[in-house]
Each structure stands twice: as C-alpha cells, then as structure tokens.
Structure 1
Amino acid sequence: MINQALYRKWRSQSFNDIIGQDHITQTLQNALEMDRIGHAYLFNGPRGTGKTSTARILAKAVNCTGTGKRPCNTCAICRSITEGRQMDLIEIDAASNTSVDDIRDLRDKVGFRPGEVKRKFYIIDETHMLSKSAFNALLKTLEEPPPHVIFVLATTEPEKIPETILSRCQRFDFRRISVEKVAERLAYIMEHEGLKAEKDALLYIARQGSGSMRDSISLLDQLTAYGHDIITLDLVQSVLGTVNQATIQKLVGYLFKRDITVGLALINKVVADGVEPRRFTLAVLEYLRDLLLIMHGQDEVMLGLSVEMAESMRQQTDEISAIDLFHMTKRFSQAVRDFKFGAGETIIPQLPLELAFVDVAINEAQPQVQIQTPVVAAAKPSLTKQSPQRIADTSPIKSQSHQSKHVSKTSSVKLPPPVNDLTVEILRKRWKYILAELRTEGVNFESFFISSAIKSVDIHGHTIYITWRVLGKKWSLEFQSPAMNTPANSIPEPQLSQASSNDTPSVGDDELVKEAMKLGGKFVGREPI
C-alpha cells in the first residue's frame, strides 16, 4: 500500500479540526443549527489555511444523516465525502478549467438533481483564474441557482473576481495561522504518529510555513522521512538549508559592532557551506525584525521563539538604539527585494547581502540634534516719503510668494544668517522669511503680492521699497525687516499707500483703499497706469 502524505492523512474532517479560523467555523455551525445555509460562499485567504477543507466539511454537515452534532463522520454520506467517492460533490480546479465552455458545461449539469444527498455541492478552487467570459456564464447561475445546489468559490486573490460575482456570495476571509497554533498541531500529529521532535524544532517548522498549515505539515513529513529518532532544531535547519540561530545572532553582533572584516568572512563561509544567499538574507531580516519587536515589548510566544532565545535577544537589544535597528531592518529588507528582482543573479550570488552589511556598517544613523528656533519680533512695514530708485524688475518674487507657508501669530520666525550687503538676489532668496514676518503681525500684504504683478523693488540700506499693480492701480510699500538684519525694536508701524497721481478720487470710491487704510495705510493719491 502506498504511504499517504501527512497533510492528506491529517486533513481536517470536522469543524473542530479547523485551526485558527474560529470566526468562520462558529458562523457556519450557527447557520446549520438555524437552517440558514446560503446558496453561494466565497472563501478567501492564503494557501493552506483550510478553505477547501472547510468547504468539504460544510458539504458533509449539510447532507449528514446522523443525529447530534454535524458532521458525524460515521454515516454513509459523511464517509463517502471523506473517502472522495461522493458523486454529488464536484471539485473544479479553475486554474486548469478557465474557459467559458467549462462553465457552460457546469451550468448545464447544475439542473440535474442530486442522487443520494439533499444538496449538491460545487467547489471551485482558484476561482480568480476564470476568464471574463467564464465569469459571465457563471453569473446567471449564481443569480438564480436551483434550490438543490450550493456553490463554494475558493480564492487567494479576491480582487480579481468581478463585483457582480462577489455581491452574490457570502464572503469569509481565512487568516494566516499563528506559529503557536501550528506548532501545537504539529506536536499532536507527531504524538499520534509515534514520533518525537524538539519543541524548538516544531516552532521553527511553523515559522517556515508562514502561517500555512499544509505547508508546515509537508515540511514535517519531509523531516520524518530523514530517518532520525528525534527531530532536532539542527536537523531541521540542515535539511531545509537554513542557517542556525546562533550563526545569525553572531552575524548581527558583528553588524552592531561595525566589524566589516569578520562579518563578511562569516557571510562567505555560510554561503560556501551551501546555504542559499537569499534565504540567508531573509533569515537575517527576520531576526532583525524580531529584535525590533522584542525591543518594543512584543511577547516571544507571538513571535514563535523559545524563552531562552527571546531572553538572549533582549540582551542583544541593549547594544543598539531603536533608530539604528530600524534602519538596519529597512536596509536588509531592500536586500531581499534585490534578490527577488534579479540583483543576486550574478557570478557573486551573495552580493546583495554583502552590500547591505557593509552599507549598514559604514553608515551609522545620524545623531538626533534638537534645534531651537530663535524668537525674533516680526517686522512691520512703514511708509517714508523718500523717493525710491528703481533697480530691477522682480516678477519672479511673485511666484515665490505662492510657496510661502502659513505661520501663526504666536509662531517664531526662523531667520537666515545675517548679511552685510542687501541685493535683489538676496531678497529673492529670503522673500519667504519676509512674508512670514508680515503674517505674524496680521498684516495681509501677501494677498496683494499673490494677486498682482510686482513692478519694481528698490533697496536703500536695509529699507525695501516695493511697487506693484493690482486692480488697475499702482501701490507702493516701504518696510524694514529683521530678516534683512535690522533690529526689531527700531521698526515703525506698518503703513500702506497708493502711488501719487494727478487724478485723486475720494476714498469712498474704492473698496480696496478702505481695506488698505484698515491695515494702517494712508491714502495720498492715485497714479494712472
């Protein structure tokens, strides 16, 4: 007799056997008790988490003829489904039956009533692989299903399934199974198989399974075939081609000490021993991640670590700061991606790992320096009757005013280094500081600059004269700025005026003039443009 694989031999046969999906099994059992079974279900989740097994158990429970809790697994219907000989349980692999003809054939057969069961079950695995035409053909059946048919669609990528299909199914999301629960199930299997294994070895297998029960049991099956009396952690790491924790811990210790020479030597020794570089890099990344989580109070049980290993890692976290550990984890994550996208497919397969190690070792995290922004009283514009001398057209200043950021009245202004000679070029560079000073005093001159075209800017010492055009009128502003190295206590009150003009209308004719005067301006005349 051919030996059956462990993952098939120990496949879940009742709701109690489904590990880590209590939110789904409890809901389905309640629906059975209330006789509220739907006509279509969508089971979504990672591979090996129990989607197809749950569908088969649901088929047994719906059609079970036994008394008491369903499924009983003893009646003829339950046994026929368990043994895979029930004709009214149809499993379809959508990955190999993607065409519309396959679904049309299914649709034609749906109308036939079941032979010996109450409800016929169709389990469509990898549903997202169906073609668009196949989905359209399936939609009609899901809209108006026969009363004797139940559909279960299983998928790992629900986003590829049309919304019209999703809306007609009850959706259940299967989760990755925790390392602790997978390890407990593996220990249960080992006990009933009459085999022995170290707890650390089972935890390591569960971690390698990445939350998939089927993958973890398959790894266990591979290890039991090795022929040892007991499965140890060293045996698991040797058979799976991974690096033992002591080596990884040693390498990370060299990384913390910035010891490039010894670290690179250890990397090349491990690779020379036959360890696949990408898997080695991934193991280092997982170790750094565990260190980061332990540093922030994560429990070792949730991480699938032994108490001894967790304590050793806690001691190692004392050698590094959180910011350094964060950057190390981020850099090794990039190294894993480099392997994935072909950067490691060179004559030096371990190159991405070596580069990550050296990069982290020579680039220590920048020290955090707290900078205090000096508090300087904001400038206030003032009006003088000194005739300005036009020296340049500064239209680019307008565009820079758009980029200035809002500063509240209580905010301090961060000033640039002082200058001795004030020029238009320096004014352009420091324009945002000047606007910030104006805003701190509640003077809304910035709106004038944004909505108008600046005609000229004249500079005399540390006094700035600005002339601009807005709403067909020409305005001028004169002010002194601490940003231009002027003492704050010598700055007069802000004033705004319109340039002189022979045509001088009354103040009441112009709303803009009224607003300017509210800001402290004085109306002296209007200049035609």
Structure 2
Amino acid sequence: MYTALYRAYRPEVFDEILGQDHIVRILKNQIQTDTTSHAYLFCGTRGTGKTTTARILAKGLNCLSEGDRPCGQCSVCREIKEGTFLDVIEIDAASNNGVDNIRELRESVKYPPAAGRKKVYIIDEVHMLSTGAFNALLKTLEEPPEYVVFILATTEPHKLPATILSRCMRLDFKRVPENVLIGGMSEICQKKGIQVSDSALRIIAANADGSVRDGLSILDQCISGGDTKVDASDVLEFLGASGEETFVELTDLIRKKRTSDAIVLVAQALADGKDVRQFMRDWVNHYRNLLMTKFIKNPQEIINMSVENIDRIRRQSETIELTEINQGILELSRTINEAKWSTQPRILLELAIVKLSSVSAGRTPIMGMTSERMISSEPAGSQGYYGKPAGSPLQNATSGSPGESSVSEIGHAPDEDGNKAAPEPKDYDRIWKAVFEDGEASKGSFYIVGSGAALTSIEEHSFTVTVRSGHVKAYAERNRELLETLMERHTGKKRSMKIAETGAGAASMESEASMEDIAQEAEKLLGVNVEIK
C-alpha cells in the first residue's frame, strides 16, 4: 500500500523538524534538564508540525537512550512511531468532544504508565471541545499526577477558554519559510530519484503557504503520474494555475483596451482546465509582482520566480502606471471576495475585465477609487457644494449626448490663435465639485477642502483656491500635489495652486460651511466629540 509523502517522511527526531527551531531548542533543553512542563499548548496553522512535534516530545519523555533523546531507534521510539505504545494516547477532540469523553480521560489518568516513564495525552484540535468538556478538564489539567503530561494542539487558540490557556505552556508554530520548504522537498526528491526543477519547487512552496503537509501533498500529486522529471509547467497543470506569460499578455490587453481579446484569452485558459478562482488569485499576484519590481532593484527573493519571468514582469512594470496597478489589485481583490459566495465566479471575472478595460480606456483612476465611481454621472439639476446648480462632474464617455460636455473638456475650446482657453468663471463650481469628489474618493478627510474652500480663479499658469480659515489652508497646503493633479485632470493643463484667505481681497464664497458644520462632519467621520475653541 502506498504511503503519502507527508506520512512517509514525517520527522522522527527533533533535528528533522522543519522551520520550528525556536520550539525545538526549548523542548530539547527541557528534556535534557528534566524540566518539562505538565501541560503544553501547541498553536499554529495547519501542516506546521504540531502533532508531529507532540509525538517526538512523547518519544523524548520515554526514550531508552542514554544520549540525545529521542533516538528514534529504541523499542519505545519505534512503538510510538507505529502507534502501539500504551502510554501515549492520542485523542481527536473533533469527534470526542463531550463531557463523557473527558470523564473517561480523567479516570484513565489515575493509572500509572504501563511501560514508559511518562503517560502522554495528545489532544488534537482541542478547540473543538464543548464548554462542559473544558470545565471537566480544568482540575486535571492544572494538577495532574507527576507521571502525566498533556499536549494540546490547535489551529484556533482564540477559541480556548482563558482558564485552559493559563494552565498550559504555550508554543506558537510559525509558517515554514519557502526556502526551508524547498530544501526539504529537494531532499525527498533526491531520495526518490526524481528530478524536480528549482522553478517547480518554488511554485509548490509558494502554493503551500507555509504548510509542510500542503507542500508535500502538492509534490505527491505532481510525481504520482510516474514521471521522473517535473518542471514548472507540470506543477501549474496539476494546480490548475496559469503561467506568468498568460498574465503578462492579459494585463497588456487590458491596458490596450482590447476587451474582447482579453476575455477570449481567459476563456482559453479556463478551457484548459484552470480553476477560475485560482486564476484570479494568480492575476492579483501578478499585479503585486509588478508593484514589487517597480520599487525593488533585485526582487528575486520576494517574488520567488525564475529570472526569466522576473525580467518579463520588470519590462511590463516599466510601462505601466502605479495607479493602474492599484486599480487592478483593488478590482480583482473585490471580485475574489465576491466569488467566494458565487456559483458563477467566471462571470464576475469577465465583468472585472470589462471594468478594468473601461478604466484604461478612460482617464487614469485616483488611488483607492472604484471603477463604478469613475464612470458615474449626476442627474441634471443637482446642486453644487455652494448652492449653485452643478453639471455632471464626469459624463459617461460613451453617452455622446448632444449639447453636453464633460468637466475634463471645459476650457479646451481653442481661441482665435489655436490656443486652449482657460475655463470660464461660470464653470468654476462644476470643476471644483468634480475635484472634490475625486479627492474624497482618494482621501476620506478631503471633505475639509470641499466644505471650507472654493475655486475662485483660473489663470494661464495657476489657479486660486480661497479658504475660510487657517486650518483649511494648512490642509490644502499638505495636499497641494493632489489638488494640482486633480485640477490638471479636469482642466487639461498643469497649473500651480495659489491659496488665498477670505478677507484678503479674494472673491467671497457663497453659502460657506460654518465651523459648526465642519465640526459635525468631523464628529460623524471620527466618532468623537469635537469642541470649537
């Protein structure tokens, strides 16, 4: 009968445990100095070695060797490995979680070890015990007989009562680093005579997400076909994932507004058996890789990819804007979250492609702004922030309604000499409203500018914002770069910002928000009382 890799190559002594050196050091020292605790709590994510370490600790407490314990060779160590040693009792709390089960355990604790020095109880998934079972265990866990050791293992320590936590020595198992996983899997492949490429091992380790068991399960799947050679394409095929070249091409199609070609490319990938949710996760990771290569000179260790793929990503990152990367990550992350509960995740992915293509076809998004916000429009006749009728801040580019112009086109009509004229004063409120909405989507505190300032002048190379107070002036100064960028977007020309205060000769603002209004808005936003002094 075939034995799975994670069982066949389970560590038998402390030195074989991967990635938990801090715990191994503690336990080895306690065994050598005979200072072991009466109760341990092993916490950590799945597949990090909690149960395996518990068994090795049980071996160390009962090992017959005179040297380092456990030796892994004596009769006690072999019996514990085979699960036949009478004094090591493993309990699955998921299926034995009642009060009666714990009462039976308490009765068995009274009897001394039959063959070893210590009687060890390993309770796996201990967080599954009922409240009554926890209460029944408390006294025994606090003061067990000197020959009894409890080892509790759980992936969710927050579900344990504080009374249990306080009675145990807690040891937290970390996710195993990818380079450690790669080294461990490489040794196993050498023992089995299988050639696995470094890129294949990196992909397996990345998908294992710090779990040794998950990594070995994926490796087991990859070599189960009988091949003696495994490369990256084989691993991607087993995982239902796509190669990096697919996401490079897909991202380029999005940027070139070739929506139909992008949807066809995804359809081809899914037709090859790729999992749609995995595809979305891999695409988000591609955008993350673009972000890393944009800021990090040597991203090999962070990205965990072949040099060739990193070069492909770097070339693409040099041509893509940071705002596009941001929008891709936000849109796909939202789609992945919705796909968890959907029976049609493919449709959500295709919708995300259409949205991202539409954003690329329009103006560049502001960081943090959703695609729905960018293509929205206001009903006619809505009021501006200062009581004036305001037009649509951003008309739908595909509407083509006659007689209407978007804010971004204001002031673009050429004069007699062919130069683009500055916007008319009648358009100032419309422009400022659009700037305010975009800024508010980027920064929640941007309402301070909208309620305490107004656009009062647009010159050839500058524009003037009139503020009501020094507080608003300071805020506008801190956000100068963002305001100038937004104004450029809505007027079509780069201008520097001038700030004027009311009473300093600037035009007065109509229907100014009072400090009380600002305080009320701040209270709603921050959830605290704001006093005006």
- Shared fold by TM > 0.5? yes
Is the 8 Å Cα contact of residues 416 and 483 (structure 1) preserved in structure 2?
no
CA distance in 2, matches of 1:185, 1:434: 64
Q: 1:59 to 1:315 in 2, by over 3 A?
A: same
Q: How does 1:279-318 map to 2 (within 5 A)?
A: 279-297=278-296, 299-318=299-318
Q: 1:118 to 1:263 in 2, by over 3 A?
A: same
**CA distances 1:247-298 after superposition (whole Å, capped 9, x unpaired):** 1222123234343222111012212222221111111112222322333327
CA distance in 2, matches of 1:90, 1:482: 78
Deviation at 1:438?
13
Where 1:121 maps in the other structure, the secondary structure is strand
Q: 1:149 to 1:235 in 2, by over 3 A?
A: same
The two structures, once aligned, show a CA RMSD in angstroms of: 2.8
Q: How does 1:323-342 map to 2 (within 5 A)?
A: 323-342=323-342
Q: How does 1:402-441 map to 2 (within 5 A)?
A: 415-417=453-455, 433=468
Where 2:264 maps in the other structure, the secondary structure is helix
Deviation at 1:486?
5.1
Give 1:461's aligned residue: none
Bigger share in helix: 2
**CA distances 1:55-88 after superposition (whole Å, capped 9, x unpaired):** 1111111211112221111111111111221111
Q: 1:246 to 1:143 in 2, by over 3 A?
A: same
Give 1:483's aligned residue: 502
Matched, 1:197 2:196: yes
Give 1:139's aligned residue: 138
Q: 1:487 to 1:186 in 2, by over 3 A?
A: closer
Is the 8 Å Cα contact of residues 327 and 365 (structure 1) preserved in structure 2?
no
Where 1:150 maps in the other structure, the secondary structure is strand
Q: 1:277 to 1:438 in 2, by over 3 A?
A: closer
Where 1:341 maps in the other structure, the secondary structure is coil
Amino acid at match of 1:355: L
Is the 8 Å Cα contact of residues 294 and 300 (structure 1) preserved in structure 2?
no
Q: 1:244 to 1:113 in 2, by over 3 A?
A: same
Range 60-69 or range 354-363, more displaced: 354-363
**CA distances 1:111-151 after superposition (whole Å, capped 9, x unpaired):** 11011111111111111111110111111111111111111
Give 1:155's aligned residue: 154
Amino acid at match of 2:156: E
CA distance in 2, matches of 1:272, 1:438: 57
Amino acid at match of 2:301: V
Give 1:127's aligned residue: 126
Give 2:352's aligned residue: 356
Where 1:33 maps in the other structure, the secondary structure is helix
Amino acid at match of 1:221: D
Is the 8 Å Cα contact of residues 183 and 202 (structure 1) preserved in structure 2?
yes
Q: 1:304 to 1:134 in 2, by over 3 A?
A: same
Amino acid at match of 2:247: I
Q: 1:63 to 1:251 in 2, by over 3 A?
A: same
Deviation at 1:433?
2.6
Q: How does 1:37-56 map to 2 (within 5 A)?
A: 37-56=36-55
CA distance in 2, matches of 1:482, 1:221: 71
TM-score, length basis structure 2: 0.68
Give 1:30's aligned residue: 29
CA distance in 1, matches of 2:306, 2:212: 20
**CA distances 1:323-361 after superposition (whole Å, capped 9, x unpaired):** 32122112111111111022xx13xx4111112222222
Amino acid at match of 1:310: I
Give 1:177's aligned residue: 176
Deviation at 1:172?
1.0
TM-score, length basis structure 1: 0.69
Amino acid at match of 2:468: Y
Where 1:79 maps in the other structure, the secondary structure is helix
Amino acid at match of 1:433: R
Give 2:514's aligned residue: none
CA distance in 1, matches of 2:308, 2:469: 61
Is the 8 Å Cα contact of residues 323 and 365 (structure 2) preserved in structure 1?
no
Amino acid at match of 1:30: N
Deviation at 1:89?
0.7
Give 2:246's aligned residue: 247
CA distance in 1, matches of 2:473, 2:19: 62
Q: 1:249 to 1:438 in 2, by over 3 A?
A: closer
CA distance in 2, matches of 1:482, 1:193: 78
Q: 1:258 to 1:169 in 2, by over 3 A?
A: farther
Amino acid at match of 2:454: P
Matched, 1:230 2:229: yes
CA distance in 1, matches of 2:3, 2:503: 85
Identity %: 39
Give 1:265's aligned residue: 264
Q: 1:28 to 1:482 in 2, by over 3 A?
A: closer
CA distance in 2, matches of 1:190, 1:228: 12
Give 1:498's aligned residue: none
Give 2:210's aligned residue: 211
Q: 1:308 to 1:435 in 2, by over 3 A?
A: closer
Larger radius of gyration: 1
Where 2:468 maps in the other structure, the secondary structure is helix
Q: 1:234 to 1:435 in 2, by over 3 A?
A: closer
CA distance in 2, matches of 1:196, 1:486: 79
Amino acid at match of 2:3: Q
Where 1:16 maps in the other structure, the secondary structure is helix
CA distance in 2, matches of 1:438, 1:97: 66
CA distance in 1, matches of 2:184, 2:60: 23
Deviation at 1:418?
5.7
Q: Which runs of 5+ in 1 are unaligned?
A: 369-404, 406-412, 420-429, 440-480, 489-529
Is the 8 Å Cα contact of residues 278 and 336 (structure 1) preserved in structure 2?
yes
Where 1:41 maps in the other structure, the secondary structure is strand
Give 1:70's aligned residue: 69
Q: How does 1:8-27 map to 2 (within 5 A)?
A: 8-27=7-26
Q: Which runs of 5+ in 2 are unaligned?
A: 368-444, 446-450, 458-465, 475-499, 508-533
Range 302-311 or range 349-358, more displaced: 302-311
CA distance in 2, matches of 1:158, 1:259: 49
